[in-house]
Structure 1
Amino acid sequence: MSEVDTAPSARSRGRLGGTFAALRVRNYRLFASGQVVSLVGTWMQRVAQDWLVLELSGGSPVALGVAAALQFGPTLLLSLWGGAIADRYDKRRLLMGLQVAMGVCALVLGLLDVSGAVTLAQVYVLCVLLGVFSALDGPVRQSFAGEMVGSGALANAVALNSMTFNTARVLGPAIAGLVIAAVGTGWVFLLNAITFAAVLTGLAMMRQAEMFVLDRAPRERGAIRAGLREVRRHPDVVLLLVLAFFVSTLGINFFVTLAIMARNVFGRGAESYGLLTSALAVGCLLGAFTAARRVGRPRLRTVVGAGVVFGLCEVAAGLMPTYALVALLLVPTGAAQLLFTSAANAAVQLGVDESVRGRVMGLWMLVMLGGTPVGGPALGWLAEQLGGRAPLWLGGALSALAAVVAGLWLLARRRRPAASPA
Structure 2
Amino acid sequence: MIRRPRLSTTGAFAPLRATAFRAMWIAALASQVGTWMETVGAQWILLAHPHAAVTTALIQTATTLPVLFLALPGGALADVFDRRRLLIGIQSVQAGTAGTIAALAFFDLLNPIELLVLTFALGCGAALTVAPYQALIPELVPRQELPSASALGSLSVNLARAVGPAIAGLLVARLGPGYVFALNAASFAAFAVVMASLPRKAPAAETRPEAFLAAVRAGERYVRFSPEMRRILLRIALFITPAVALWALLPVLAAHRLGLGPTGYGLLLAAVGAGSIGGAFLLPWVRSVLTPNRSYAVCAAVYAAVLAALALTRSPALAAAALVPAGAAWIVVLSNSNAAVQLFLPGWVRARGLSAYQFVFSGSQALAAAAWGVAADRLGVPGPLLFAVVLLVLALISGRWWPYMDTVPLDRSTKVHWPEPHLLIEPEEAEGPVVVLLRYRVAEDRQAGFVRAMHRVREARLRTGALQWGVFRSGEDPGAMVEIYTVASWEEHRRQHDERLTAADYDDELAAQSYAEGEPEVTHLLSATPNVSGSP
Provide TM-score, normalisation by structure 1: 0.87
1:277 is matched with which residue: 264, 269, 272? 269
Q: How many residues align?
A: 402
1:163 is matched with which residue: 155, 164, 168? 155
Higher radius of gyration, 1 or 2: 2
Aligned counterpart, 2:402: 409
Aligned counterpart, 2:381: 388
Q: In 2, distance between residues paired with 1:197 and 1:88? A: 24
Aligned counterpart, 2:29: 36
2:242–2:389 CA contact under 8 A, matched in 1: yes
Q: CA deviation at 1:94?
A: 0.9
Aligned counterpart, 1:12: none
Q: CA deviation at 1:243?
A: 1.9
1:83–1:136 CA contact under 8 A, matched in 2: yes
Q: CA deviation at 1:146?
A: 1.3
Cα distance change on mapping 1:96 and 1:283 into 2, 3 Å:
same
1:177–1:271 CA contact under 8 A, matched in 2: yes
1:378 is matched with which residue: 367, 371, 384? 371
2:166–2:266 CA contact under 8 A, matched in 1: yes
User: Which structure carries more relative contact order (alpha carbon 8 Å, separation 6+)?
Assistant: 1
Q: In 1, distance between residues paired with 2:9 and 2:305? A: 36
Deviations 1:101-139 (A, max 9, x none): 112121111111111111111112102211211111122
Aligned counterpart, 1:363: 356
Q: Which amino acid aligns with 2:133?
A: R
Aligned counterpart, 1:188: 180
1:205 aligns with 2:233: no
Q: CA deviation at 1:178?
A: 0.8
Q: In 2, distance between residues paired with 1:130 and 1:374? A: 17
For 1:300-339, what aligned pairs fall within 5 Å after superposition? 300-339=293-332
Q: CA deviation at 1:216?
A: 6.6
Q: In 1, distance between residues paired with 2:189 and 2:97? A: 14
Q: CA deviation at 1:406?
A: 2.6
Q: In 1, distance between residues paired with 2:205 and 2:342? A: 16
Aligned counterpart, 1:9: none
Provide TM-score, normalisation by structure 2: 0.69
1:45 is matched with which residue: 38, 44, 68? 38
Q: CA deviation at 1:339?
A: 0.1
Q: Which amino acid aligns with 2:331?
A: L
1:315–1:397 CA contact under 8 A, matched in 2: no
Worse overlay, 28-37 or 334-343: 28-37
Deviations 1:58-80 (A, max 9, x none): 35211223333233222111101
Q: CA deviation at 1:409?
A: 3.1
1:247–1:307 CA contact under 8 A, matched in 2: yes
1:257 is matched with which residue: 239, 249, 257? 249
Secondary structure in structure 1 of the residue aligned to 2:47: helix
Q: Which amino acid aligns with 1:374?
A: L
2:84–2:200 CA contact under 8 A, matched in 1: no
Cα distance change on mapping 1:298 and 1:209 into 2, 3 Å:
farther
Deviations 1:297-326 (A, max 9, x none): 973443344334333333333333312111
Secondary structure in structure 2 of the residue aligned to 1:421: helix
Cα distance change on mapping 1:258 and 1:99 into 2, 3 Å:
same
Q: In 1, distance between residues paired with 2:196 and 2:205? A: 16
2:217 is matched with which residue: 220, 225, 232? 225
Q: In 1, distance between residues paired with 2:208 and 2:139? A: 12
1:308–1:404 CA contact under 8 A, matched in 2: no
Q: In 2, distance between residues paired with 1:336 and 1:210? A: 39
1:264–1:388 CA contact under 8 A, matched in 2: no
1:88–1:216 CA contact under 8 A, matched in 2: no
Q: Which amino acid aligns with 2:137?
A: A
Cα distance change on mapping 1:121 and 1:249 into 2, 3 Å:
same
For 1:9-88, what aligned pairs fall within 5 Å after superposition? 17-55=10-48, 57-58=49-50, 60-88=52-80
1:43–1:169 CA contact under 8 A, matched in 2: yes
Secondary structure in structure 2 of the residue aligned to 1:208: coil
Q: In 1, distance between residues paired with 2:193 and 2:215? A: 32
Q: In 2, distance between residues paired with 1:364 and 1:227? A: 12
Secondary structure in structure 2 of the residue aligned to 1:371: helix
Q: In 1, distance between residues paired with 2:204 and 2:268? A: 39
Q: Percent identity?
A: 32
Aligned counterpart, 2:437: none
Give the helix-richer structure, 1 or 2. 1
